Structure 1
Amino acid sequence: MSTLTAAASARPPRDRPVRRRVVTAGLALACALVPVQTGAARADTAADGPALTSAAAAVGAGTDVAGTSTPPGGRATKPRITTIPITATAPSGAKGAAPSAAGPVAQVTRQRTSFDVAGVTSSGAALDGIRIEVQTHGAAGWSPWTGLEAEGDGPDPGTPEAAGARVGTAPLLAAGSDGIRLRVFSPDGTLPGGLGLSLVDGGDAPQDARPPRSAAPLSVTAPRLRTVADGATAAGPTSRAASAVTSGVSAPAIVSRSGWGADESLRDCVPTALGGFKAAAVHHTVNSNSYTSTQSASLVRGILAYHTKSLGWCDIGYNFLVDRFGTIFEGRYGSLAGFVQAAHAGGFNRETFGVSVIGDFTRSSFPSAAVSAVSRVIAWQADRSGFDPGAGVTLTSEGSTRYPAGTRVVLPRVVGHRNLSLTSCPGDTAYPQVAGIRSSAASTWRAGQYRAAPGLYTPLTARRVVDTRTGLGGSTTALGPDSSRVITIPGLPSTATAVTISVTASGATGGTYLVVHPDGTPLPTSSLLSTSPGRTVAAPITVGLGPSARLRVYNRLSTVHITVDVQGYYSSSGGAGFTGVAPRRVLDTRTGTGAPRAQVPARGSVTFAVPGLPSTARSVVLNISGANARASTAVTAHPVGTARPGTPNLHLSAARLSTTSVVVPVGSDRRVTLYSDLAATDLVADVVGYHATGLGARFTATAPRRVADTRWGWNIRLGPVTSGLVVGTYLPAPSTANGVAMNVTAIYATAPTLVTVYPAAQTRPTSPSLTPSANETVSTALLLSTGVGPHVSYSSTAGAVHLLTDVTGYFGP
């Protein structure tokens, strides 16, 4: 970190850290990852998703997270801070000094004072034009004179943390020192007001004598879960050559804050929780390369004390620190379990996380052990956030020393600090090593990714495979909080790579959400649907299979019953390709399109044709909507001439509009039937695509990922989508991709609205994708043919609504 200037942020208000004293560790654990919500009360928070809540669960439980390395006997160690005023004095001619022609305007000498970290702060003007030099004394005698660089980075401009920050230098690391000499040079002979020298003794802790050298690197992507198997162990193959299934990128061994003895009373704010990061910045702490492995933790404690007590920050500025021996330390509170905004690169803290190597690498390289550790922690964090460390990204400055607020900067996903700010960090010799760190992190990340073999689609007559209410497919046990159910889909070929299913949640005892992912992969940062007491919610999903043709359904917050209905599968050995089309209305009982103008009666049906399909079409993808229902009812889609399956696709409430997506097999007559169960209702259907033999794209399943979130500005414009506003995002996929399988969730709507999601290259269609009511959380699955590259647009007709997007795979040649 270095040089100083700050541009005012032009960003709109957002969830920000509240500067308040955190009195007890218990309180800190309970609220560490809860952002401060503004605006209307939130009636349904279940869709916040596992990107935050799994982390919160791990932290809130007050336990160390799997994958961390916490030496025995870990306890907080309170640093000692000595502050010495710096006032103008005549040159003292101290031994070893070599004043310039003008001479220093201030000098300080302090001996027989133990410290590990030193720095200079000012309560007045910036340190522009001021030159500060120090010598430190230790076992080897006096060091050479070293210049202290002004600390120009830190909290983002305009935030409460920035408001409480003070001007100062970057910390000088000098482990085990007992004396210091300081001199200050000023062009005009004056000093900034309130200039002071801070000496921080990190203290000794029992764990310092046992620095961690190795620990089993366990994944911390998912909380510890209770698993209920479905008992169907013989229905599926034992291995799947068609899928390349991995378990994600494991967390390296990391020393938690309790492990290095963090004094949590020094924190005076609740960290700002984020939805993830877009990029990583590599730093160095400057000044000390001679420390021992037993001194590393003391240096980290000293940096925490200097950043909080001397510079006035909320917490330590970096998310992670790495010593020259390759030991990784958790930095800012919450970085190990979740995603929290740090203060490492002013103007870019909301979009990046910082990893700092302890030492000065202006003239020497990062040691190989440090390079390896930095690469591993970046690969792990990138996996949790869902980005490829080897790719590029567009970041938006909130006001940095290099880029004014609002500047959009295209950079690699892993950069040196100097790419974001006017600084020499991470050092002239180390900076060329950032490219190698980026490459190594990308290789580790790619090796840990789930990606199934491309497949073609085979539709099935919809059938139920799991119902926890009746015991179908296993026991009658409902899913409890933080528990999961392993699902085997019977009857699939060994070459099956993905399935299209519908999952229904009912009988919830409280607000909760469900996640579906391939069994054998970590719990992803995504969600399928949200529900609450009294609601029955169904949502389709196209998702990859685990190594034994199995899926895992995870429930987050309360007890709930689930049903799972299979509609078809993708296989590497044959089937039909997907072709998306601009939405085209084929049924509307309100206007007489495709059928007589009349509501579908209770326990009645409507049949309609889907014209324009090729002769080899095997299924059609429809968006179906229900409106003006006389009472709650369920709607089921099926081909004409087949028995109606007991697998509803859409659940309607009285007098409101609801919509979903469904894949329906078609015969030669290209006709489809929609059945309404308990009440009369109007029904609308739009064709958005089809699967046909010999045509279309193949589907490649990936691990489900949250790829856009307006609440955090994650890969999309920050802030809710309001009436008349069209926002867009680029969904991560290969450049050859021409479509995506995605789930979109609407949350925190301020009024009933119609949300439309469509390919950016197309005109906005008239049929909505989601229809949330005020404060309701709703989700839908979409198969979109996007053309060249997966560019997607979103719009809303009323009020304001936040939108979350998860991707489960892509279509391509």
Structure 2
Amino acid sequence: MRGFLTCSIGVTCAAALTLPPAVLNVPSAVAAPADRALTTTARPAKTVLSGSTQSLPLTPRTRERVLGQAPEQGAYRTDLRRFSLVGVIWDKPGTELLGQVQVRTRSAATGDWSGWQDVDTHNADHGADPDTAEASSGRVHGATAPLWVGASDGVDVRVRAKAGPGPGVGRDLLPAGLRLELVDPGDEAPSEGLPGDSPRTDTGADSAAAVNADLVSFAATEIPALSRADTERELRELNGGTAPLAKPHIGPRPRIVTRRGWGADESLREKGFVYTGKVKAAFVHHTDSGNGYRCSDAPSVIRSIYRYHVVSMGWRDIGYNFLVDKCGTIYEGRAGGAAKAVRGAHTLGFNNNSTGIAVIGTFGSHKPPAAAVTGIAKLTAWKLGLSGANPKGKTYLKSGGGNLYPKGKNVRLNVISGHRDGYATDCPGAKLYAKLGSARTSSAHLQGR
């Protein structure tokens, strides 16, 4: 028999789970307001995830100063534990890093150094809406985009401020408290534990699984695909058995890898889930983490981004509601239930009544794989169909405040929009943005429109 977790719209449902362990540069977690406690039965224990974050302060680099030359900070280390993703953070989230961040890493397998790679410094366009508890928690940092570098054990990073018009002018352009974050995604824990494990109540993992109980059996590693007919039947069940007045426009439910499936360490995130009204729009993003990963690496990339968002940047959970890899595999993102209206931290100012879908990769000058665009179409046909939204239509969302629209303004947007439609940003990259028309058409076709 399937269990259900009922939550009031617009409030937080809190499940009792372990607060994050002490980690570098992370203040103690702030518990979400309690609405309804979730009681779980004891399950076999999991092995401890081995992920970690190494946080290194950046220091000024001694170099000759000439007229107009900007100062640098950096770090060079070859005595590190393994890591696979890098990013730079600083103290104040409202401060912009005006300059350039470049990194090179030493392969843990070969000992060879990579060439210098640029790290995108424009990442403030992602995040929780202003005036929300997540944004004002006091734990949020400014940050670059994360960059996937693969298994590495050495790093060289340089941060160069934008040059001013004269000597010394550029020095204050570097934000205070610059730190290099080196993330090891760790290993995926087995879903049912190992022989000999003692039973316990894993409240974090169990609560994240329970909110999908209306879709799939407990502790499943994936939500399986359904036929169109079965998806329509499920929609009636989700609506309490009430049949819609007309045949619903909803695409077949696609296969979705759950958080348990990609190995989320549920002890990292803040407890509880935050919901909005209904999903009226989907914002498409790219993770801007680079394209140098294999599809088999995608769970590790997601675990790294999750850890970077929570441990390094101070968010309550991974910012995106869903992620799609280059092979078109769809992954559940922020916890709270794949079929529910979970508020994310993906499009600053427009996180309410929307869902955020990030394609893993960087698509400014690289074309997104056709499989990834198909994954967007399949996911939006189902997710938007749950709330009756037309992928080729328009909708109104109220801005929570941003650099394009002032707080409180009702903005008419495409039901499937790019991140740049709600905020002045390059995301989701020019090449992926150009494919959104195709995704809208395919998504609407899958809905039977």
Q: 1:173 aligns with which of 141, 148, 172?
A: 148
Aligned to 1:148: 120
Write the distance in 2 (CA, Å) between the matches of 1:62 and 1:408.
45
- The separation in 2 between residues aligned to 1:373 and 1:75, in whole angstroms, is 32
Query: How much does 1:360 deviate?
Result: 0.7
Offset at residue 145 of structure 1 (A): 2.8
2:103 equivalent to 1:131: no
CA–CA distance in structure 2, aligned partners of residues 35 and 223 of structure 1: 29
CA distance in 2, matches of 1:155, 1:144: 31
1:336 matches 2:338: yes
Conserved? CA contact 2:341–2:353, under 8 Å: no
**Which residue type is aligned with residue 194 of structure 1?**
G
Matched, 1:270 2:265: no
Structure 1's 226 and 157: CA in aligned 2 closer, same or farther, altered over 3 A?
Answer: closer
Cα separation, 2, equivalents of 1:428 and 1:128: 22
Amino acid at match of 1:154: G
Tell me the SS of whatever aligns to 2:53: strand
- Shift, 1:84, TM fit: 0.2
Q: Secondary structure at the match of 2:304?
A: helix
CA contact (8 A) 1:131 1:184 kept: yes
* Residue number among 149, 160, 164 corresponding to 1:185 in the alignment: 160
5+ residue gaps, structure 1, are 1-13, 26-33, 38-55, 64-72, 93-98, 228-242, 448-813
Instruction: Please name the residue that 1:84 is paired with.
Output: 56
Is 2:388 the counterpart of 1:386? Answer: yes
The answer to whether residue 182 in structure 2 is matched with residue 199 in structure 1 is: yes
Match of 2:18 in 1: 23
Aligned residue number for residue 353 of structure 1: 355
Query: Are the equivalent residues in 2 in contact too, given 1:17–1:160 (CA < 8 A)?
Result: no
Q: C-alpha distance in 2, partners of 1:183/1:144?
A: 10
Q: 1:110 to 1:445 in 2, by over 3 A?
A: farther
Question: For residue 127 of structure 1, what is the amino acid of its counterpart?
Answer: E
Residues 283 and 357 in structure 2, CA contact (< 8 A), matched pair in contact too: yes
Distance 2:237 2:263 in 1: 24
Return closer, same or farther for 1:115/1:394 CA change in 2, 3 Å cut-off.
same
Distance 1:19 1:226 in 2: 23
Are 2:391 and 2:440, in contact at CA under 8 Å, matched by a contact in 1? yes
Match of 1:461 in 2: none
Q: Which piece of structure 1 moves more, 388-397 or 312-321?
A: 388-397
Pairwise mapping of residues 437-448 of structure 1 onto structure 2 (< 5 A)? 437-446=439-448
Q: Which residue of the partner structure matches residue 413 of structure 1?
A: 415
Q: Secondary structure of the equivalent of 1:249?
A: coil
Task: Name the residue aligned to 1:538.
Answer: none
RMSD, aligned CA: 3.6
Residues 249 and 207 of structure 1: is their aligned pair in 2 closer, same or farther, counting only changes over 3 Å?
A: farther
**Can you list the C-alpha shifts for 1:689-741, whole angstroms capped at 9, x where unaligned?**
xxxxxxxxxxxxxxxxxxxxxxxxxxxxxxxxxxxxxxxxxxxxxxxxxxxxx
TM-score (ref. length: structure 1):
0.42
**2:325–2:359: 8 Å Cα contact kept in structure 1?**
yes
- Per the alignment, residue 115 of structure 1 pairs with 83
Question: Which amino acid counterpart does residue 110 of structure 1 have in structure 2?
Answer: R
The DSSP-based 3-state class of the residue aligned with 1:265 is coil
Contact 1:19 1:160 in 2 (8 A): no
Letter in 1 for 2:440: R
- Equivalent runs, 1:358-507 vs 2, <5 Å: 358-446=360-448
Report if the CA contact (8 A) 1:131-1:185 is conserved.
Answer: yes
Give the letter for the 1:334 counterpart.
G
Is 2:236 the counterpart of 1:253? Answer: no
Give the direction of change, closer, same or farther, for the CA distance of 1:411–1:246 in structure 2 (3 Å limit). closer
1:15 offset after TM fit, Å? 4.3
Residue 739 (structure 1) aligns with:
none
Q: Secondary structure at the match of 1:370?
A: helix
- Give the letter for the 2:433 counterpart: Y
- What is the one-letter code of the residue matched to 2:183? V
1:313 is matched with 315
In structure 2, distance between residues paired with 1:381 and 1:75? 33
CA distance in 1, matches of 2:69, 2:366: 32
Distance of 2:321 and 2:307 partners within structure 1:
15
In the alignment, the residues of structure 2 paired with residue 100 and residue 110 of structure 1 have an alpha-carbon distance, to the nearest angstrom, of 30
Equivalents in 1 of 2:397, 2:411: separation in Å? 5
Secondary structure of the residue aligned to 1:109 is strand
8 Å contact from structure 1 (residues 284, 358) kept in 2: yes
Q: Which amino acid aligns with 2:410?
A: R
Distance (Å, rounded) in 2 between the aligned partners of 1:279 and 1:159: 20
- Equivalent runs, 1:558-577 vs 2, <5 Å: none
Equivalent positions of 1:728-807 (< 5 A) are none
- Aligned partners of 2:252 and 2:47: how far apart in 1? 26
Q: Secondary structure at the match of 1:321?
A: strand
Contact 1:172 1:288 in 2 (8 A): yes
Q: Is the 8 A contact 1:149 1:170 kept in 2?
A: yes
Corresponding residue number in structure 2 for 1:217: 226
Dislocated runs of 4+, deviation >4 Å: 14-21, 34-37, 59-63, 73-76, 212-215, 222-227, 243-248
Residue 483 of structure 1 corresponds to none
Alignment of 1:163 with 2:136, yes or no, is yes
Query: Which AA in structure 1 matches 2:328?
Result: G
In 2, Cα distance between equivalents of 1:384 and 1:15: 18
SS in 1 for 2:442: helix
Distance (whole Å) between structure 1 residues aligned to residue 121 and residue 415 of structure 2: 27
How many angstroms does 1:303 deviate by?
Answer: 0.8
Q: TM-score when scaled to structure 2?
A: 0.74
Per-residue deviation, 1:147: 3.2
Residues 486-505 of structure 1: CA deviation (Å, up to 9, x unaligned): xxxxxxxxxxxxxxxxxxxx
Cα distance, 1:282 vs structure 2:
0.4
CA separation of 1:281 and 1:224: change in aligned 2, threshold 3 A: closer
Sort the Cα spacing of 1:129 and 1:409 in 2 relative to 1 into closer, same or farther, 3 A.
same
Deviation per CA, 1:98-122: give whole Å up to 9, x if none. Answer: x997254212123354222211111
Structure 2 counterpart SS, 1:309: helix
Separation in structure 2 between the aligned mates of residue 172 and residue 76 of structure 1, nearest angstrom: 25
The structural deviation recorded for 1:207 is: 6.7
Distance 1:131 1:62, change over 3 A: farther
Give deviations 1:588-639, integer Å, cap 9, x for gaps: xxxxxxxxxxxxxxxxxxxxxxxxxxxxxxxxxxxxxxxxxxxxxxxxxxxx
Which is bigger in relative contact order (C-alpha 8 A, separation at least 6)? 2
Write the distance in 2 (CA, Å) between the matches of 1:100 and 1:291. 41
C-alpha contact (below 8 Å) 1:173/1:287 kept by paired residues? yes
Q: Deviations over 1:559-588 (max 9, x none)?
A: xxxxxxxxxxxxxxxxxxxxxxxxxxxxxx
1:464 aligned partner: none
Give the match's secondary structure for 1:177.
strand
Q: Quick one: which amino acid aligns to residue 156 of structure 1?
A: D
Structure richer in helix, relative to its length: 2
Give the 3 Å change call, closer, same or farther, for CA 442–225 of structure 1 in structure 2.
closer
| TM-fit CA distance, 1:225 | 12
> Structure 1 residue 75: deviation in Å?
7.1
Tell me, in whole angstroms, the C-alpha distance in 1 between the residues paired with 2:226 and 2:155. Answer: 41
Contact kept, 8 Å, 1:284 with 1:426, in 2: the verdict is yes
The one-letter code of the counterpart of 2:279 is: F
Q: What SS does the corresponding residue of 1:303 show, helix, strand or coil? A: helix
Q: Verify the 8 A CA contact 1:78 1:263 in the aligned structure 2.
A: no
8 A Cα contact 2:103 2:155, kept in partner: yes
Select the structure that is richer in strand.
Answer: 1
